[in-house]
Homo-oligomer: A and B are copies of this chain.
Amino acid sequence: MSAQADHPTLLIPGPIEFDDAVLGSMGHPSESHVGPAFVNAFGEVLSMLRKLFITTDLKSQPFVISGSGTLGWDFVAANLVEKHDEVLVLHSGYFADSFATCLSVYGAVPTQLKAPVGSRPSLEEIEAELKQKSYKAITITHTDTSTGVLSDVKAVSELVHKVSPDTLVVVDGVCSVGCEEIRFDDWGIDVVVTASQKAIGVPAGLCIMMVSGRGIDRFKARKTPPSAYFASFANWLPIMQNYEAKKPSYFATPSPQLVRALQTSLNQILSVPLDYRFQKHKEVSQKVKKAVAALGLRQLADKPECQANGMTAIYLPEGVAASDLLPKLMAKGVVFAGGLHKEIATKYFRFGHMGVSVTNSDLGHIDKAIEALKSSLAEAGYKH
């Protein structure tokens, strides 16, 4: 029986449920961060990330750093823009506000293009805004985890390349990498920032990034040095290049156990065609969304094309409080998340469907969750 037996099923939009083998790698015996075995493993992880992000351009640069998704924003803010640089922040929920705050901490000047809750800025609005100022970068939250709103990264990136070609295309992929289609080269993306604990299926603790050759060139052409030390490409770029070339080097100690777990998970993810993985997440997402609709519940993201495939944010029915519903679900062994978007936090809840819970239907996580949702709502007095 696995050590995981009988724990409640975690179906929040990250951290997600982890595969036994991935958790097993977390207990990897101690090894030197500059020893050949670990250097080799880290090098493989970096090469595998190129596949995950679908980039074959050798100028693209993967990074894996102890931290979390948030730290990726610091990397962008401290390395890819300089003081007084204008940045257009597309807002589809909570996370754009935080990214914008992070950018201003380092002296960049964010302009947020906001959409109503449950929606995303339109291509027309984005085009108009891009023509207002000379933006050094645009940020897109691929899936905003507070609303479940999906952005059309491909279309936005195409638009940016057309109307404002010097603007770096920065994607917050914390809640999308590993479950939503991302074609780094084909879509002309410059940066994707993500974290380990969502659809990549590894315990929290890693900030993961892919930066284009153009992004690295922009960094190298800075007039001022990076404005952070730990979150500095200057410090990490040679280290990442060395690890990928299987050469030891040191700036700050990486986490062998987390990197080993990432190696295990990436091996699993890449053993199946990525398109199949994305398709599977779409199918399971549709199943969840149909069940939600059948229960007479409404999603925050109301247009199908802006609904994420890795999670669903759902309005609570009239008269049912999250503080009543979530414990009822918990009693049935299912953990959902409450609301996060400031304006409406108490009015909705979130169901995460990423990773093994989606790809391994034998686990029965999704069916169990849908059933638990139905019966918990009934217990809470909801009649449909």
Assembly stoichiometry (copies): 2
Residues on B with C-beta less than 8 A from A102 are: 229-230
Which of A12-20, A50-58, A276-284 faces chain B? A12-20
Would you call the interface of chain A mostly helix, strand, loop, or mixed?
Answer: loop
The distance from the CB of A224 to the nearest CB of chain B, in whole angstroms, is: 11
The distance from the CB of A106 to the nearest CB of chain B, in whole angstroms, is: 7
Q: Which residue of B lies closest to A27 (CB)?
A: B23
Please determine whether B7 and A29 come into contact, CB atoms closer than 8 angstroms: yes
A258 within 8 A of B: yes
Please determine whether B23 and A29 come into contact, CB atoms closer than 8 angstroms: yes
Within 8 Å by CB of A71, from B105, B225, B252, B337, lies: B252
Please determine whether B67 and A229 come into contact, CB atoms closer than 8 angstroms: no
Kindly identify, within residues 257 to 272 of chain A, every residue whose CB is under 8 Å from any CB belonging to chain B.
257-258
Please determine whether B10 and A27 come into contact, CB atoms closer than 8 angstroms: no
Please determine whether A106 and B229 come into contact, CB atoms closer than 8 angstroms: yes
Please determine whether B12 and A32 come into contact, CB atoms closer than 8 angstroms: yes
Please determine whether B258 and A205 come into contact, CB atoms closer than 8 angstroms: yes
A238 within 8 A of B: no
A231 within 8 A of B: yes
The distance from the CB of A8 to the nearest CB of chain B, in whole angstroms, is: 8
Q: Once the chains are docked, how many angstroms separate the CA of A45 from the CA of B349?
A: 29
Binding site for B on A (CB under 8 A): 3-4, 7, 10, 12, 14-18, 23-24, 26-35, 66-71, 73-74, 77-78, 101-102, 105-106, 195, 197, 203-205, 225-232, 250-258, 335, 337, 340
